[in-house]
């Protein structure tokens, strides 16, 4: 057992005592005085934000450990620019150092293997066990490969790429696009909603078309959407395809993919004829990351986790909170990195309050802002504000608020890059 690990256990025992003392009324003020041990699984937009804000808002009183297998944070938002070729992976990459150095978060490079919600222990793949007072799962998504028999093995998955988790797959897909001959067809298959980042596939089509337009003018982008129509910013994307990328992008709805023949680069569909690609990019159907299953918090359609939106605590398992793409979303709430950051702040405030013996904020507010890059410089947005509805006991979009861009613009492109710089710092620095 490492020194760090022993420290961790010691503070945990002390923390539990303090928590009990602080549940007496009148003891705690302003979130200060909160103590205890929080373990967070996943260092993405949700988990990293929760870690930082719990440390900040408890004035360092709560011990926070983040379990994350990747050495660095790589952003999914903006990763389509790597496919277009105007940015590289380094642009998307942020260190975890500031979380530990500035905020005292313990960043544990490991994988959560199992969770014992009775004993409140997270078991790590590396063999260690971390006890918690409150557990926050921000595991992101897993792909449902069982829905696509031809891709249910590692070799096939290394050839027909998803690139729906930014990193090596993003770079590999870029290489496939570079190797594709002019006149070739890039096929992008989109799953039936809900999936991570509703406008993401349509932005990707734009970025690949931006690359083709400059370098391979005879190449085509064929979008085969499992949904009946474009699920986000529809009129704006369709305008871009009709004007900016005229003759390059073709969109077809209601293409529900059932299988892929990897060697023939051919996709099979529920209804339509098979389609052959030169580069096949398949975004698979998704569900909450597997660790959510181990914690017993997957409650919706065997895919997502229902939460209480006042605290993001699981509706089923006490002291376990779930954030980000893994949750069963409220009406009008997208699965986005921005939204995961906002989930994390509501959850952080609630966890700090609860560990100080106070009630959580009864009126949480969240917002979403999502930019999609149409070219290397021009962008469009969709945004919304979500307020607590005390009768329906959920958060709902405010009517009359939110909306989309009037047209793509370089000004919004500048704001998109400003958004990235600010949210990466807000989440990790």
Residues that bind another protein (CB under 8 A): 29-31, 52-53, 57, 338, 341-342, 345-346, 349, 353, 359-367, 369, 381, 383-387, 397-398, 400-403, 405, 409, 411-412, 414-415, 417-419, 421-423, 425-426, 429
Contact 186, 174 (CB under 8 A): no
Q: Which is nearer to another protein, 172 or 429 (CB)?
A: 429
For residue 314, the minimal CB distance to another protein (Å) is 19
Q: Which two tokens mark 381?
A: 């947005």
With respect to another protein, which residue has the nearer C-beta, 56 or 172? Answer: 56
Asked, as a colleague might, if the bond just before 194 is cis with ω within 30 of 0, I would say: yes
Q: Which is nearer to another protein, 120 or 386 (CB)?
A: 386
- Report, in Å, the least distance between residue 360 CB and another protein: 8
- Which pair of tokens denotes residue 86? 């105007």
- Measured over the CA atoms of residue 172, residue 199, residue 327 and residue 133, the dihedral's sign is positive
Region of residue 17 (phi > 0: left; psi between -120 and 50: alpha; otherwise: beta): alpha
CA angle (286 as vertex; 367, 71 as ends), nearest 5:
75
Contact by Cβ (8 Å): 196, 164? yes
Residue 15 or 31 with smaller CB distance to another protein? 31
Is residue 347 within 8 Å of residue 136, measured between CB atoms?
yes
- Smallest distance from the beta carbon of 213 to another protein, in angstroms? 25
Shortest reach from residue 363's CB to another protein, in Å: 7
C-beta of 113 vs 398, nearer to another protein: 398
Q: Are 190 and 226 in contact (CB under 8 A)?
A: yes
Cα-based distances in Å from 423 to 126, 152, 193, 245? 31, 35, 25, 30
Q: Which is nearer to another protein, 14 or 365 (CB)?
A: 365
Q: What is the DSSP string of 274-292?
A: PEE-SEEEE---EEE-HHH
**Minimum distance between the CB of residue 400 and another protein, rounded to whole angstroms?**
6
Closest separation in Å from C-beta 155 to another protein: 39
In the complex, minimum distance from the CB of residue 23 to another protein, in angstroms, rounded to a whole number: 12
Task: Please work out, in degrees rounded to the nearest 5, the angle formed at the alpha carbon of residue 405 by the alpha carbons of 399 and 410.
Answer: 155
Q: By CB neighbour count within 10 A (0-12 exposed, 13-18 middle, 19+ buried), where does 313 fall?
A: buried
207 CB-contact burial (10 Å; exposed 0-12 / middle 13-18 / buried 19+): buried
Which residue, 57 or 210, has its beta carbon nearer to another protein?
A: 57
Contact 82, 171 (CB under 8 A): yes
Task: Extract the tokens encoding 169.
Answer: 């797959």
When the beta carbons of 269 and 388 are compared against another protein, the nearer one is 388
Q: How far is the CB of 425 from another protein (least distance, A)?
A: 5
Q: Which is nearer to another protein, 257 or 353 (CB)?
A: 353
250, 335, 337, 345, 395 from 331: Cα distances, Å: 30, 11, 17, 19, 8
CA neighbor of 230 nearest in space, from 105, 341, 380, 47: 380
Shortest reach from residue 29's CB to another protein, in Å: 7
């Amino acid at each position: 057992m490492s020194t760090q690990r022993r420290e961790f256990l010691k503070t945990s025992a002390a923390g539990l005592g303090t928590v009990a003392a602080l549940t007496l009324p009148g003891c705690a003020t302003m979130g200060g005085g909160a103590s205890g041990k929080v373990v967070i699984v996943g260092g993405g937009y949700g988990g990293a934000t929760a870690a930082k804000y719990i440390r900040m808002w408890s004035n360092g009183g709560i011990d926070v450990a983040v379990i994350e297998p990747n050495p660095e944070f790589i952003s999914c938002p903006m990763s389509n620019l790597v496919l277009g070729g105007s940015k590289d992976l380094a642009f998307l990459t942020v260190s975890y150092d500031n979380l530990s150095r500035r905020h005292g978060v313990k960043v544990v490079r490991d994988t959560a293997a199992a969770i014992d919600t009775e004993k409140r222990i997270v078991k790590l793949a590396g063999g260690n066990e971390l006890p918690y007072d409150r557990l926050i799962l921000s595991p992101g998504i897993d792909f449902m490969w069982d829905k696509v028999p031809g891709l249910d093995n590692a070799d096939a998955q290394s050839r027909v790429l998803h690139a729906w988790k930014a990193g090596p797959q993003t770079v590999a897909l870029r290489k496939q696009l570079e190797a594709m001959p002019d006149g070739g067809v890039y096929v992008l298959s989109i799953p039936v909603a809900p999936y991570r980042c509703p406008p993401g596939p349509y932005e990707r089509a734009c970025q690949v078309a931006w690359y083709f337009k400059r370098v391979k003018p005879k190449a085509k982008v064929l979008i085969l959407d499992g949904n009946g129509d474009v699920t986000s910013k529809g009129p704006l994307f369709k305008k871009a395809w009709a004007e900016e990328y005229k003759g390059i992008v073709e969109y077809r709805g209601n293409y529900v993919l059932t299988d892929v023949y990897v060697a023939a680069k051919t996709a099979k569909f529920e209804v339509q004829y098979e389609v052959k690609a030169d580069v096949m990019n398949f975004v698979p159907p998704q569900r909450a990351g597997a660790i959510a299953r181990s914690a017993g918090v997957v409650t919706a359609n065997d895919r997502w986790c229902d939460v209480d939106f006042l605290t993001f605590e699981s509706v089923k398992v006490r002291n376990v909170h779930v954030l980000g793409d893994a949750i069963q979303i409220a009406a009008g709430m997208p699965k986005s990195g921005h939204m995961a950051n906002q989930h994390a702040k509501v959850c952080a405030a609630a966890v700090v309050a609860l560990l100080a013996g106070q009630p959580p904020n009864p009126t949480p507010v969240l917002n979403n802002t999502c930019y999609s890059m149409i070219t290397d410089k021009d962008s469009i947005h969709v945004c919304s504000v979500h307020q607590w509805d005390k009768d329906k006991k959920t958060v709902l979009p405010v009517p009359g608020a939110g909306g989309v861009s009037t047209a793509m613009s370089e000004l919004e492109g500048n704001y998109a890059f400003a958004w990235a710089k600010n949210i990466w710092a807000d989440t990790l620095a």
